[in-house]
């Protein structure tokens, strides 16, 4: 073979090799593109129905989000919708009444949980935070509503979620009996695992509850460095949830609603009102008092006129002779300000006392000196406000909305899930002012 023929053969082989190499590269690029499209589409297709994760950070007072660097909470705010001046809790601003108002859309007299501790006046039985009998828990919470609409729900702690009522039986796979020792990360991991299920098995509604920063707030008040550290931990756990949803390709498709149940205010041993100081006007026996502070609840025996008790107590409190007397105002429950929505239940004792912000009521002087934090006060106090953040397809990016009461959240969730809810105290039109139209 001549040199020219050999060169031509080599050139031909080179061209064929080059063409083969180019073809392989193009095939590889096409395969990678198809794989990317497949995984992207499968992630997007992972959610064939709207999903809401309702998160409660107990005692997260409005403004706590500025106490520490909170990049994950700030991300939800910047890319979502925020109540600009905070979420308004229902009265009393206590944990159980507010958590149940959030998921029923009802004020406490209508859903039955009028305090953290109260009595049935007919049976004398006591409700505590460990009471799971359906007779206490009236109304229809969201997990029950969701099931009645042929969807599925999951709860990782929420007051009332352990109660077997209607179609809800607190199923083992989708309902966790309360255990405060469970690490926050374990709670998040369980919720994330729901998104590894086949699409039709992913719950439409999920609750997720954290005890902090309420736990620290009671011990040290709202201004201590412990609160700063607690807020940073909550932000980190929210970051873990976001990261897990992103890894599964569903973060932008899930609706996250982050709220608290109430705020927190500092208290100290100089801010006390003692019932025994009213003795010159009227004796208030210990067994008349069902709850001391900051919402004083008194049920005198049937032989005693509640109106007489209220008149004599206020006479003493206004006399100028009772230490901090002016910081407590006592009412017949039917005379409470109407905005409190706190009279229409026989579970509410006939006499209610409202302490001023930061003041506490005790029976007598014990000599104990303590400073810490409390809540339960009039929901008009700004210190009782908490947070509302909504993130997801139906929430506008960077939107600020006015403060609103938490009874509106029930209708917000049913609107996102496009299901029929139970009658409630929220406004039917409220979701339209907050949510974007469905895609």
Residues in contact with 340: Cβ distance below 8 Å, sequence separation at least 6, in sequence order: 91, 378, 379
Catalytic, out of 70, 93, 95, 293: 95
Does residue 95 have an active-site annotation? yes
Homologous superfamily (CATH) of 51-265+380-434 is Alkaline Phosphatase, subunit A (3.40.720.10)
Q: What is the model's pLDDT at position 2? A: 52
Among 3.30.1360.180, 2.40.480.10, 3.40.50.720, 3.40.50.2020, name the CATH number for the domain at 269-370.
3.30.1360.180
User: Residue 78 and residue 70: Cα distance in Å, rounded?
Assistant: 12
Q: What is the model's pLDDT at position 366? A: 85
Q: What is the model's pLDDT at position 1? A: 54
268: burial class by Cβ within 10 Å (0-12, 13-18, 19+)? Answer: middle
HSE of 203 in the Cβ direction (CA atoms, 13 Å)? Answer: 26
pTM score, two decimals? 0.90
Tokens 């930061």 belong to 358
Domains 51-265+380-434 and 269-370 share a fold: no
Domain ranges in the chain are 51-265+380-434, 269-370
User: Residue 193 and residue 38: Cα distance in Å, rounded?
Assistant: 22
Q: Which long-range contacts (CB under 8 A, 24 or more apart) does 284-287 make?
A: 284/309, 284/313, 286/363
User: Residue 333 and residue 299: Cα distance in Å, rounded?
Assistant: 11
Query: What are the pLDDT tens digits along the chain (439 aa)?
Result: 554 544 444 444 444 544 544 444 544 444 444 444 344 433 334 799 999 999 999 999 999 999 999 999 999 999 999 999 999 999 999 999 999 999 999 999 999 999 999 999 999 999 999 999 999 999 999 999 999 999 999 999 999 999 999 999 999 999 999 999 999 999 999 999 999 999 999 999 999 999 999 999 999 999 999 999 999 999 999 999 999 999 999 999 999 999 999 999 999 989 999 999 999 999 999 999 999 999 999 999 999 999 999 999 999 999 999 999 999 999 999 999 999 999 999 999 999 999 999 999 999 998 777 899 999 999 999 999 999 999 999 999 999 999 999 999 999 999 999 999 999 999 999 999 999 999 8
Cβ neighbours of 255 (radius 10 Å): 22
């Amino acid at each position: 073979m001549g040199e020219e023929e050999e060169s031509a053969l080599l050139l031909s082989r080179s061209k064929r090799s080059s063409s083969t190499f180019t073809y392989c590269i193009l095939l590889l690029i096409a395969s990678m593109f198809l794989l990317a499209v497949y995984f992207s589409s499968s992630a997007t297709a992972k959610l064939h129905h709207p999903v809401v994760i309702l998160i409660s950070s107990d005692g997260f007072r409005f403004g706590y989000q500025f106490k520490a660097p909170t990049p994950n909470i700030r991300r939800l705010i910047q890319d979502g919708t925020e109540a600009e001046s905070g979420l308004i809790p229902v009265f009393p601003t206590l944990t159980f009444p507010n958590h149940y108002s959030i998921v029923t859309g009802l004020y406490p007299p209508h859903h039955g949980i009028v305090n953290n501790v109260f009595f049935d006046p007919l049976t004398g039985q006591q409700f505590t935070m460990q009471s799971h009998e359906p007779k206490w828990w009236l109304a229809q919470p969201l997990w029950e509503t969701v099931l009645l609409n042929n969807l599925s729900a999951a709860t990782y702690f929420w007051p009332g979620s352990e109660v077997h009522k209607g179609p809800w039986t607190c199923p083992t796979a989708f309902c966790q009996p309360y255990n405060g020792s469970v690490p926050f990360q374990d709670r998040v991991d369980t919720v994330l695992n729901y998104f590894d299920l086949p699409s039709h098995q992913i719950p439409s509604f999920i609750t997720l509850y954290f005890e902090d920063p309420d736990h620290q707030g009671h011990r040290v008040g709202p201004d201590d460095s412990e609160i700063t550290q607690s807020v940073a931990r909550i932000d980190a756990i929210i970051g873990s949830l976001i990261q897990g949803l992103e890894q599964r390709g569903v973060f932008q498709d899930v609706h996250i609603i982050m709220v608290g149940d109430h705020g927190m205010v500092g208290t100290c041993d100089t801010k006390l009102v003692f019932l025994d100081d009213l003795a010159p006007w009227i004796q208030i026996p210990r067994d008349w008092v069902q709850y001391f502070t900051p919402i004083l609840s008194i049920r005198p025996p049937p032989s005693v006129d509640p109106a007489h008790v209220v008149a004599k107590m206020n006479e003493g409190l206004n006399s100028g002779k009772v230490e901090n007397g002016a910081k407590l105002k006592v009412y017949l429950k039917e005379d409470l300000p109407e905005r409190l929505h706190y009279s229409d239940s026989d579970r509410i004792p006939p006499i209610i006392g409202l302490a001023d912000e930061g003041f506490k009521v005790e029976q007598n002087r014990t000599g104990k000196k303590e400073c810490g934090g409390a809540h339960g006060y009039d929901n008009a106090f700004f210190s009782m406000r908490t947070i509302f953040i909504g993130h997801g397809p139906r929430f506008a990016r960077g939107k600020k909305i006015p403060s609103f009461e938490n009874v509106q959240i029930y209708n917000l969730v049913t609107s996102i899930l496009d299901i029929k809810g139970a009658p409630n105290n929220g406004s039917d039109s409220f979701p339209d002012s907050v949510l974007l139209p469905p895609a």
